[in-house]
Copies of this chain bind each other. A is one copy, B any other.
Amino acid sequence: MAEHIVRSYDNDLQGLRQRIAEMGGIAEKMLGDASQALVRHDKPLAQTVIAADSRLDVLQREVEESAILTIARRQPLAVDLRETISAIRISGDVERIGDLAKNIAKRALAIGDDVKPQKIVVSLKHMNDLVLGQLKDVLDAYAQQDTAKSLDVWKRDGAIDALYTSIFRELLTYMMEDPRNISFCTHLLFCAKNIERIGDHTTNIAETVHYLVTGETLAIDRPKNDRSIDAAVTGG
């Protein structure tokens, strides 16, 4: 490629990376705030999470459009093509993380201070902190193109699944103990499921970083199993 084309192409990539960094920052903040809103019954904070989501949607569209235009204009090959494809994939995952955080915030609003055993919300916050750590690490791994770090995130997803199953059982127990717990516990069930799904998206991003750096695909079926599906039947 002629030098000025190379430079334009680098500018394109730089623009994609910047937008994804901005998206990552927004998603991290949304996830942290959603969890705080749930623990502290902080309705204004929940509202800010809900409001933040539209910016993520806009940025995702921008990344997608600009990545596709880059591919069409510059015809990148090999690692450069992987950069643009990865940008599309990662922005998709981060956008959905934002949707899930927004859903947690909506449920925080709906629950209000209806939650009696505060302990269960604390377990949920712990799970959320773990996933937030995963998200930060995998976004760092992307920024630094660090495949070892991304592989580490990928492996840690099992711990989150295990925690999810234990929270799931705990919630079922509360529901069985007292029918008045059922309403808010179903919200917390969905919150826990959302956090678990955010964990899955961080794992997707880890796979994309691995693909970006090495050109190889990690196994599509990673060793995971939602044991809560059995837990619900065998009882809490």
Check A81 against B107 for contact (C-beta < 8 Å).
no
Given the contacts A175-B175, A175-B179, A233 and B189 also touching, CB distance less than 8 Å: no
Given the contacts A68-B85, A75-B75, A186-B189, A232 and B176 also touching, CB distance less than 8 Å: no
| A221 at the B interface (CB under 8 A) | yes
| A3 at the B interface (CB under 8 A) | no
| A38 at the B interface (CB under 8 A) | no
Number of A residues near B (Cβ < 8 Å) is: 45
Check B232 against A110 for contact (C-beta < 8 Å).
yes
| A133 at the B interface (CB under 8 A) | no
CB-defined contacts of A193 to chain B, threshold 8 Å: 190
CA distance A189 to B171 in the complex (A): 14
CA distance A226 to B110 in the complex (A): 12
CA distance A114 to B187 in the complex (A): 23
- Taking the closest CB of chain B, its distance from the CB of A131, in whole angstroms, is 19
Interface SS of A by simple majority: helix
CB-defined contacts of A176 to chain B, threshold 8 Å: 179, 182
CA distance A165 to B57 in the complex (A): 25
Check B229 against A57 for contact (C-beta < 8 Å).
no
A residues contacting B by CB (< 8 A) are 54, 57-58, 61, 64, 68, 71-73, 75-77, 81, 84-85, 88, 92, 103, 106-107, 110-112, 114, 172, 175-176, 179, 182-184, 186-187, 189-190, 193, 217, 220-221, 226, 229-230, 232-233, 235
A-B contact pairs, 26 of them (CB 8 A): A54-B221, A57-B220, A61-B217, A68-B81, A68-B84, A71-B71, A72-B75, A72-B81, A103-B226, A106-B226, A110-B229, A110-B230, A110-B232, A110-B233, A111-B233, A112-B233, A172-B182, A175-B179, A175-B182, A175-B186, A179-B179, A183-B232, A184-B233, A186-B232, A187-B232, A189-B189
13 additional A-B pairs beyond A58-B220, A106-B229, A172-B186, beta carbons within 8 Å, are A64-B85, A68-B81, A72-B75, A92-B92, A103-B226, A110-B229, A110-B232, A111-B233, A114-B233, A175-B175, A179-B179, A183-B232, A190-B193
